[in-house]
């Protein structure tokens, strides 16, 4: 039997979990969710762009199927599923999310209103020019380190050689473990100017840089309204930017005014536009404003155009301020400039990001020109050998013709070895022995083509040599002097600005806080209606009078109330839900209304409403509670004068629920009917007062498996009070009242 050498290591479980969780968290932070400050890209974005570069899907070549790009990226570099890769590809094509799109998409890649992109099998893509020239250029010059891919069958760059601060230009959003990043896009021309200013003066302050970078430049335009707070945000790397949509007015027929929104807050991208339209419609329906005539979304490929038609006498300024206050037309963008710097996550200000990028530019150029210098020196060595060979070409031809093989000829050229070579004269042998070409020069001479001996070709060789010498001098100067390298970087940045700079879209200003004077609602009596499906609305008294029969037959609840007040809805689960009457649509009887779930915390799937009363009346009344298990009490109405949308109206035992909530008067009685057919009538004085947090007292003795099915409150001044229970009609006025906690009378 073979003895196992395995050992069992005992350790604390919590320590193992902590270590593994930290490893997992760092993996997500470094390898998935956060961008690198040097190229501004997350790993999935970097891999998509590099794969497109490797596939040859360049900006000056035809588009290729997105599915091909996604599949190749997943198979070679990013084995985390095709959806994450395609999502990254889609976002890099969207000009409404990125300052400058890094991918040129062909097909349906979604739109600003939130419609998703078509499946990857339908869309096509290729690199955008800025990606090829600004992020992927010089990859062949050993400017960045390459690392093995996930299965060590390929090599991928650890970072792309970005020639501009892409992190600022395109921004980034990502959620890691315990941290998140949210960097807004900026204007590429301004960012390049700020980078050049930093290169020229490393002691420049954040305020100095902000003479160039005015603030975020969102693709959707809009207005940043807190200009004075931007300096602190860009120094610390975090803060909140307030943004507004841009509103203009146009005149329409009939003297109406058109409010036109053609620039929206960046945060409104996607479902935010439809939400904004719904919010404006809700303001009109709830009569918060009566100025709206029509709302239309006329947006197209040319841009955003949301049109709100107002009445003739509308206060346009006040209505616009209402939109800023009540909708997402004014919003905040939370900035948290977190990125990977030197292998760890770091929150950086504007200057820190530019500082890291400039340091990266110097490193890229150092490696680039070191590589170019080595190649030019090799070229110079070869050129010097060819020029020298042209001067003694007759001797070299004599050596080649007299040699038995290539090694013999090369030995003569490099070391002057003449043994075994047939020369025409003794002088030629002596001169051959004096030759001392380098190995590289000797190889070039042996591969020299005869046409290079033409006079013009020799002149061209001399010109190439002069150019190579000049290049070597220039490269050495760039590598030896920081000023020279800085000028090279500045020249590259200025060339990029000339090609890619675009006018700023977002205005930066100090706007005053909007003042919206909400018109006071004129108080009036209304009728609250709720049908059996939970849809509710309000109508006026005249509408009720005209449609009384239909109203009573079609609605479960009909309550008179004030349009400025609240309603109290009590449920079988012992909860009280308050509803603002002003939140309900007011109009015609045949209007559908809105679900009560939308204006309260009530959920029709979990509980049933058993009583609806105006809150103003409730506060002056006594409310009776009867439960299924025959618990009974009353509470004073002031306990339900609450501001919360939901509170517990009474305490219930397990498996109990409220059967009846009603108004309790002094000259009244309570009748309880059980499932097994028992009836107990007690005087109102028998019902004790309890707080809403109390369960109450037992109102009736129940047999096993019996429960209260119905309860009725009646007045002792009424001669007849006929109710129907289990298809039997009972006149409660004829029933004798008993003491509380009695068994009651069995109904025949």
Residue 320 near residue 259, CB atoms below 8 Å: yes
Residue with tokens 């109009």: 587
The two three-digit tokens of residue 175, written as one number: 């959620």
Rounded to an integer, what distance in angstroms lies between the CA atom of residue 233 and that of residue 304?
Answer: 29
Instruction: Point out which residues pair with 148 in neighbouring strands.
Output: 155
Give φ, ψ of 698 to 5 degrees.
-75, 120
Rounded to an integer, what distance in angstroms lies between the CA atom of residue 348 and that of residue 343?
Answer: 14
Reply yes or no on whether 122 is catalytic: yes
Rounded to an integer, what distance in angstroms lies between the CA atom of residue 73 and that of residue 156?
Answer: 11
Residue 486 near residue 541, CB atoms below 8 Å: no
Instruction: Bin 441: left if φ > 0, else alpha if -120 < ψ < 50, else beta.
Output: alpha
The two three-digit tokens of residue 336, written as one number: 């948290």
Closest to 131 (Cα-Cα) out of 162, 102, 88: 102
Rounded to an integer, what distance in angstroms lies between the CA atom of residue 363 and that of residue 158?
Answer: 14
Residue 478: CB atoms within 10 A of its CB come to: 23
Residue with tokens 């473990």: 177
Residues whose CB is less than 8 angstroms from the CB of residue 272 and which lie 6 or more positions away in sequence, other chains included: 114, 264, 265, 328
Rounded to an integer, what distance in angstroms lies between the CA atom of residue 354 and that of residue 14?
Answer: 41
Rounded to an integer, what distance in angstroms lies between the CA atom of residue 176 and that of residue 245?
Answer: 30
Closest to 354 (Cα-Cα) out of 489, 487, 219, 180: 489
**DSSP 3-state assignment of 59?**
coil
Residue 565 CA to its chain's centroid (Å): 39
Residue 653 near residue 722, CB atoms below 8 Å: no
Q: CA 119 → CA 65, 82, 86, 343, distances in Å? A: 11, 11, 9, 35
Rounded to an integer, what distance in angstroms lies between the CA atom of residue 432 and that of residue 398?
Answer: 9
542 exposed, middle or buried (CB, 10 Å; 0-12, 13-18, 19+)? exposed
Residues whose CB is less than 8 angstroms from the CB of residue 317 and which lie 6 or more positions away in sequence, other chains included: none
Instruction: Bin 469: left if φ > 0, else alpha if -120 < ψ < 50, else beta.
Output: alpha
Rounded to an integer, what distance in angstroms lies between the CA atom of residue 65 and that of residue 106?
Answer: 9
Helices (H), 577-693: 615-618
How many Å is the Cα radius of gyration of the chain?
42
One-character DSSP codes across 455-467: HHHHHHHHHHHHH
Q: What angle do CA 188, 190, 195 make, to 5 degrees?
A: 95
Instruction: Point out which residues pair with 577 in neighbouring strands.
Output: 569, 646
Q: Where in the sequence numbering do the catalytic residues fall?
A: 122
């Amino acid at each position: 039997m073979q003895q196992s050498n395995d050992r069992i290591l005992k350790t604390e479980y919590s320590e193992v979990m902590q270590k593994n969780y930290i490893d997992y968290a760092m993996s997500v932070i470094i390898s998935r969710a956060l961008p690198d400050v040097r190229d501004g890209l997350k790993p999935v974005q970097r891999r998509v762009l590099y794969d497109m570069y490797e596939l040859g899907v360049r900006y000056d070549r035809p588009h290729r199927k997105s599915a091909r790009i996604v599949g190749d990226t997943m198979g070679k570099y990013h084995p985390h599923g095709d959806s994450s890769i395609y999502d990254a590809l889609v976002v890099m094509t969207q000009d409404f999310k990125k300052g400058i799109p890094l991918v040129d998409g062909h097909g349906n890649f979604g739109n600003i209103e939130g419609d998703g992109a078509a499946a990857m099998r339908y869309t096509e893509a290729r690199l955008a020019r800025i990606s090829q020239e600004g992020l992927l250029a010089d990859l062949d010059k050993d400017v960045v380190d390459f690392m093995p891919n996930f299965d060590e069958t390929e090599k991928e760059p650890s970072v792309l050689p970005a020639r501009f601060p892409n992190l600022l230009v395109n921004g980034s959003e990502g959620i890691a473990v315990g941290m998140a990043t949210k960097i807004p896009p900026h204007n590429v021309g301004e960012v390049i100017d700020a980078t050049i200013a930093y290169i020229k003066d490393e002691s420049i302050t954040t305020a100095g840089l902000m003479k160039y970078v005015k603030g975020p430049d969102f693709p959707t335009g809009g207005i940043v309204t807190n200009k004075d707070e931007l300096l602190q945000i860009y120094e610390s790397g975090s803060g909140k930017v307030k943004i507004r949509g841009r509103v203009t007015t146009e005149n329409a027929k009939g003297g109406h005014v058109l409010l036109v929104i053609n620039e929206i807050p960046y945060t409104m991208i996607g479902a935010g536009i439809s939400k904004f339209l719904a919010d404006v419609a809700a303001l009109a329906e709830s009569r918060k404003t009566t100025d709206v005539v029509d709302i239309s979304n006329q947006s197209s490929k040319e841009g955003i155009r949301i049109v709100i038609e107002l009445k003739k006498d509308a206060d346009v300024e006040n209505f616009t301020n209402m939109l800023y206050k009540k909708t997402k037309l004014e919003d905040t963008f939370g900035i948290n400039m977190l990125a990977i710097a030197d292998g760890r996550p770091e929150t950086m200000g504007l200057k820190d990001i530019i500082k890291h990028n400039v340091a990266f530019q110097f490193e890229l150029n150092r490696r680039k020109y070191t590589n170019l210098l080595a190649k030019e020196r090799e070229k110079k060595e070869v050129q010097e050998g060819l020029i020298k060979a042209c001067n003694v070409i007759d001797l070299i031809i004599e050596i080649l013709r007299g040699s038995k093989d290539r090694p013999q000829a090369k030995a003569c050229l490099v070391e002057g070895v003449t043994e075994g070579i047939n020369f025409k004269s003794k002088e030629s042998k002596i001169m051959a022995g004096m030759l001392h070409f380098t190995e590289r020069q000797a190889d070039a001479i042996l591969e020299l083509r005869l046409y290079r001996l033409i006079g013009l070709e020799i002149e061209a060789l001399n010109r190439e040599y002069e150019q190579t010498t000049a290049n070597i001098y220039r490269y050495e100067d760039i590598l030896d002097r920081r000023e020279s390298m800085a000028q090279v970087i500045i020249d590259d940045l200025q060339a990029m600005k000339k090609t890619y700079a675009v006018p700023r879209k977002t205005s930066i200003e100090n706007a005053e806080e909007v003042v919206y004077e909400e018109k006071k609602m004129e108080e009036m009596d209304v009728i609250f209606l709720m049908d059996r499906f939970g849809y509710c609305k309000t109508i006026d008294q005249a509408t009720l009078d005209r449609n009384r029969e239909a109203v009573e037959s079609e609605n479960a609840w009909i309550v008179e109330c004030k349009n400025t007040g609240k309603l109290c809805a009590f449920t079988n689960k012992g909860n009280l839900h308050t509803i603002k009457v002003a939140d309900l649509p007011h109009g015609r009887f045949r209007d559908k209304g809105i679900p009560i779930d939308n204006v309260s915390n009530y959920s029709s799937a979990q509980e049933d409403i058993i009583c609806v009363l105006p809150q103003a009346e409730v506060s002056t009344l006594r409310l009776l509670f009867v439960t299924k298990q025959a618990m009974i009490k009353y509470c004073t109405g002031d306990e339900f004068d609450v501001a919360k949308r939901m509170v517990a109206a009474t305490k219930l035992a397990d498996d109990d629920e409220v059967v009846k909530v009603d108004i309790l008067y002094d000259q009244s009685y309570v009748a309880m009917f059980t499932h097994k057919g028992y009836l107990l009538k007690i005087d109102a004085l028998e019902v004790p007062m309890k707080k809403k947090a109390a369960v109450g007292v037992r109102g009736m003795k129940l047999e096993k498996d019996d429960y209260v099915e119905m309860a009725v409150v009646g007045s002792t001044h009424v001669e007849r009070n006929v109710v129907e229970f289990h298809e039997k009609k009972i006149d409660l006025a004829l029933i004798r009242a008993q003491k509380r906690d009695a068994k009651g009378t069995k109904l025949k």
